[in-house]
Every structure is written in structure tokens, then in C-alpha cells.
Amino acid sequence: MDVGFIGLGAMGRAMAAQLVAAGHRVQVWNRSPEPVAELVAQGAVAADSLAEVFANEVVVSMLANDAAVAALLLDEELLAGASAVVHVNMATISTALAVRAAELYERHGIGYVAAPVLGRPEVAAAGNLNILAAGPEALLDRVAPVFAAVGRHTYRLGAEPQQANLAKISVNFMIFSAVESFAEAAALGESGGLAPADLLEVVTGTVFPGPIYAGYGGSIAADRYEPAGFPVALALKDVNLALEAGAANAVPLPLAGLLRDAYLDNLAHGEGALDSAALGRTARRRANLDGRTD
């Protein structure tokens, strides 16, 4: 399959490499040239423009946020000249932008599928992402080989692309809520002389086994937030997406408000590039654990 790939950050590079390894012809584009050269060395083809990318049968994009998607991929002139059959947007974007994108692509005769993913860059590099996909069934069937190359399981969540984005926003909201709960519990334990690592061992060995508490909790217990698998700045973006979706659907999300403020605390302390588990830093500051004398 001829695949054009846009957006070669940590996730995009790993996903594009999996497509190359699966035998697809992959043409790549990125605003900075270094990741393009890296993928070309692995067998991809460089694209000089977005128009070249949209000459492929399938276009896959993995951009950082709504602003990047809107600026690069919702261009009327670009879409008017495109011969692509379908665009698979694998970024985490707002439901409102997903609706707008689907309508615009339909107007230009191009299919549109939303397929955000669950997993960090190392999971993407192993081809083990979980894919949350939504769009017309025929289009999902057509791009199934793409999903098979980058993920271990695809969840089909409906015919409207925004349904996949809402699922991803909801899952991330639950992940960050779990991280905040362990951050607060670790601060409580530490205040009474309990080592966070000991609390983590109890939690993951009994009531909350699994990757979320083990992974994020391990970072909190070790006070280790670099290198960032998923930075604070992106986590805040996703929390804000949850709040926007809640407001649009009249669904109160009080925990999301707390998470937003906790991540804003990270940003205020210059921690936007740290891993999103840095909620542990915020919880320790609130408890004044570094300044206690008792």
C-alpha cells in the first residue's frame, strides 16, 4: 500500500518505521528534516511537500495538537488537489475539530478516519499500540493493513470519527486521574515516614496491578521524570480537551479541573517538558514535604 505519513515526532517516527518494516511504500513529511532523513535511511521516501504526500492512496498523520492539524491538514487548496482516498488522523484532537475535519474532507471527496492510539513511543516502536478507530466501515476495512502494522489491536468505535477522539480523551482523563491519586497518596505516605516505593509495591501487588500505577507510580516513587515519555505540556492539552468536551455536552468533570490546575502548577515551576507523572512534584509541593521539619 502507498502511504503518506505526516508528523515525525517520537510517536510518528516509530509508527512510520513500523509501516516501512511491514513492506508498505511510505512517503514521509515533517517540518524539521532530521526525522525525515532517519526514516529515509530505513527505507522510506522523502516528500518535498504536503501535496506529494496527498498523492498517496492513504495519508496518515500524527501531529501534536489542534493548531497543527488545522494549519497543515485543513487547507482547502491542498485538499482540492489531492488524489488520496482516505486520511487517517491518529493524533489526539478535540471532538469539535474532528467534526470539522470530517465535513471538510467529505466536501473534497476524501475519506476521513480518526484513529488515536494508546501507548508511548516505546510501545509504538514495538508495533504494540492499541488503536481507537472510528469512521465509515468501508474506510476502516481499507486502512486495516495500516492498523495491523502499527498496533496489536484495533477497537472500532463507531461511524463518526469524533467518537474515537472522545474515547481517547476519556481514557487519558482516567490515566491522569490515576496518576494524581497515586501522587497524593505517595505524598500522604511520605509525610508519615512511608517510602513511596514501599507504597507502590503494595498497590501494584494487590489492588491496582497493571501498567498505569506501575509505570507512572514508579516515576513518582523515584522522583524521576526524564526522559519524558509523555510531557506535562501534552497532558495539560489533553485535560483541556476533556474539559472542552464536557462543556460541549453539559457533563461536569470536577476531577479534570483539579488535574488542569495541578499541571498548571508544573508549568508555573518550569516543568512543562517533564513526564506527565510529574504530578508527583505538584503533590509534594502542596504538602511542603521538602520544607517540613516535623
3-state SS, residue 260: helix
DSSP string, 197-251: HHHHHHHHHTT--SHHHHHHHHHHHHT---S-SSBHHHHHHHHHHHHHHHHHTT-
The answer to whether 182 and 210 have CB atoms below 8 angstroms apart is no
Catalytic residue among 13, 120, 168, 281: 168
Amino acid at residue number 148? A
**Has 237 been annotated as catalytic?**
no
Backbone angles phi, psi at 174, to 5 degrees: -70, -40
Q: Where are the alpha helices (DSSP H) in 23-160?
A: 33-41, 50-53, 66-73, 76-80, 95-107, 121-125, 137-142, 144-150
**Torsion on CA atoms 231, 115, 112, 92, rounded to nearest 10:** -20
Contact at 8 Å (CB) between 167 and 132?
Answer: yes
**Cα-Cα-Cα-Cα dihedral of 231, 100, 259, 178, to 10°?**
-80
CB-count burial class (<10 Å; 0-12, 13-18, 19+) for 209? exposed
Nearest in space to 75 (alpha carbons), one of 44, 110, 48:
110
Helix (H, G, I), strand (E, B) or coil at 5: strand
CA distance 95 to 88: 15
* Active site residues per annotation: 168
